[in-house]
Every structure is written in structure tokens, then in C-alpha cells.
Amino acid sequence: MLGVALIVFGLSYLAAVVTLFALRFRVGMRLVGAVPMVLLALMLGLFGLYAAPAFAKYGPGLVVSAEWNPPREAYGLLPALLGTLLTSAVAIAIAVPLALSAAVAITEFLPGLLREVVGSLMDLTAAMPTVIYGLWGLFTLGPFLQRLINGISSLLGLGVEMQAPVSLLTAGVLLGIVITPYIAAIVREGYALIPKAIEEAIYAVGATRLEAVLLKLRYVRGYVLGGLFLGLGRAMGETVAVAMVVGGNYLHPTLNLLSPGITISSLIALQFPESSGYAISVLFAAAFLLAVVGLGLNAVGVYLIRRWGA
């Protein structure tokens, strides 16, 4: 199936290039633009094909069961689903305020040259390999969070303890830092499209700097919401950095952010090399679910940007 997908992709691309240069430019461009969509559809079809045995054997139990027992061929994705939701929620809660603050600070308060430098540096952080974030999270962020939480708990007598630096909380905080540049870049793009007349009108009615910022954010609310959903999709799909700091607990579902856990993407990365039989189909089912949810979130984000974009 994969070979067929690659052949179809290659032939489609070749046909698009030939049409582009030999026949009609508009038709060729449309074919070139359609190639990624065809490839994406083939990828989802491939995932669905390999996941079909798992869906047929386990049914709804695949997403509500927490058992992972290869000798009995009993598998469940509940811990991974809970971990994905929890870490993504923490990431969004951290990233949105940081991204909005960074975007406003860069566009509103920094002078021209410094604005370009800081903006470019922030964009470059989005291009850093996530394994670097993972190493930083494992050796710096995780131990820091452990000391901080245990210190506060001891000081206030809360009786709460973070047993290890690897946890769902560490993964969520790290994800929040990873996706912040993506959301900030989208908000800054919206800011750049605000008409000059709108800015002049805001200050002409006597608005303060804070009031002006709030009005502008409201004006580009489509970009803010779109960035939120695109960042959420990015957080749910992150693999390497999360796998290094989440703890790898795929046997026991937990809602405790201070304990080790697992996400769908990290489960696939950690388990796939050692899997066989129905376990492979289950991991493809997890990948299929993650891909569908990620595409849905990104589609919502793009729709909001186009619907409410400035």
C-alpha cells in the first residue's frame, strides 16, 4: 500500500510539472497544489487500513481501556488519550498568555530595528530541533519544577509531592514553551494587517496604550483564535520532546499532573520498535485518531483566521 501511495504521488507530481511547463500554467498550478492533499488522503487511508484490525477486534474498548498486555493481546489507549488532553491543556494555558504578551511587546513597544531582531529570534526558536527542548526539559526544567513544587508544598503544608522530574506537568510546560513562537507569529501577522486608519482612529478617541492594545487584539481575534487552535494541534502531535520528559507510564491512567504519564505520539514512538501482532495495528489506530484530530484542529484554526481575519 505504501509503495502504491508513493507511485501515485510521483506520477501525480510528474503530471503536474509536465502540465505546468508544457500546457497551461493555471492547470499546472492547481495540480501542484492538489498533490499534498492527495498525499495526505493516501496517508490517512494507509493509517486506516493498518488500523482496521484493531478497530474491528477491540471496538470502542480501544479508547476506554487502560490495559496494555502483549501476551494476552489486550490493548487500550485511555492513558495516552488522557495524557494528550492534559498536556495539551497545560500547554495552551501557558502558551497563549506568553504568545500574546510577546506579540504585543514586539509590535507595540520595541523600536524598529530591535523589533526586527527580536521577532526574527523568536521565529528561529520555532525552527529548533525539538530534541534540544527535550534535553533542556529533562535536565533543567523537570528538576526545577520538582524543586519548586515540593518546596511550595512543604512551605504551605499541602502534602503534595512531585516524585520525579519527568511528569505530565513537565511535558505540558515544555509543550507550552515549544508552541509559543507559533502562536505569537500568527498574532503578529494579524497585527501587521491592521489598517493604519484603524490605529489612528483608536488613538484619536483618546484611548490609552492598554486600551489600544485590547482593541487591536479584539480586531485580530480571528488570528488569536486561529493561532490557539494551530498551537493546540502542534502540541498534540509533538513527539520527541514529550517522550523524553513525560515519564512513559502507559499502563495506568492518571489525572495527576505531578505523576508520570504518556501521550499518543510518545506512546507510538516508545512502543512501535518493540511491537508485533495486534499491537502494531493498535498503534496505527492511535496515529489515525491523532491525525484526524490534528487535521480537525488545524482546519478550525485556518477557518477562524479566514473568517475573522483583519
pLDDT of residue 165: 92
Q: How far is CA 93 from CA 161, 257, 293, in A?
A: 22, 14, 19
Q: Give which of 258, 189, 190 is closest to 221, Cα–Cα.
A: 190
pLDDT at site 135: 93
pLDDT at 98 over 90: yes
Cβ-proximal residues to 210 (8 Å cutoff; 6+ apart), any chain = none
Q: What is the pLDDT of residues 249-308, one digit of tens each?
A: 888 888 899 999 999 999 998 888 887 888 889 999 999 988 888 888 778 777 777 776
141 vs 192, more confident:
141
Exposed e or buried b per residue across 56-66, where buried means at least 16 C-beta atoms within 10 angstroms of its C-beta: eebeeebeebb
For the chain, give the longest Cα–Cα distance.
76
Asked if pLDDT for residue 215 goes beyond 80, the answer is yes
> Which segment, 170-179, 223-232, 236-245, 296-305, is predicted with the most confidence on average?
170-179
pLDDT at 28: 58
User: Residue 147: what pLDDT?
Assistant: 93
- What class is the 71-308 domain? mainly alpha
Span 232-254, average pLDDT = 88
Question: 68 by DSSP, 3-state: which?
Answer: strand
Minimal CA–CA distance to 289: which of 76, 47, 37, 49?
A: 47
Residue 263, phi then psi, degrees to nearest 5: -120, 170
- 15 or 86: which carries more pLDDT confidence? 86
Residue 261's φ and ψ, nearest 5 degrees, are -150, -155
Q: Which of 92, 54, 83 is nearest to 257 (CA)?
A: 83
pLDDT of residue 310: 46
Q: Domain extents for the chain? A: 2-58, 71-308
- pLDDT tens digit sequence for 14-71: 666 666 665 555 665 666 666 777 777 888 888 888 899 998 998 888 888 888 888 8
Q: Which three cell numbers stand for residue 172?
A: 505540558
Residue found by looking up cell 505504501 in the block: 2
This prediction has a pTM of: 0.84
Asked if residue 163 has pLDDT above 70, the reply is yes
